[in-house]
Copies of this chain bind each other. A is one copy, B any other.
């Protein structure tokens, strides 16, 4: 069994935002030499997501509006108990649960085995600082 591990660092300029990280994951899979296996891609921070969806800016705007409705940003101590601890990001912990922590993608014949529109995104809900994503390839 072969394996390869890499930790990527991202710093998004906004509180919430999505970044297409498919090229980075493709590079790591290629460098791993794995032909048949799995790649795990996960946020290492608990106010961020890794998810697979469409690279369409209208959809991304819709996601942001929708997530804000489901779990509004509110730094006051009133709405969220977590924001009585000195934090202001309780909403980000919720948005991350909706969008998910991780994806696992099949590697077939040395490539990400993707449908026509699948792209991997880093989803940031408490940005403007360095945060990490883990990529782990296993297989043969």
Contact = CB atoms under 8 A, between A and B. Distances in A.
A46 B101 contact: no
Nearest to A131: B115
A44 to B, nearest CB: 3
A90 to B, nearest CB: 5
Main secondary structure of the interface of A (DSSP, over half): mixed
Interface residues of A, number: 59
Contacts of A113: 5, 134, 136
A126 to B, nearest CB: 12
14 contacts: A5-B113, A38-B38, A53-B93, A56-B82, A58-B85, A59-B81, A62-B81, A62-B94, A66-B71, A66-B94, A102-B104, A104-B104, A106-B136, A115-B132
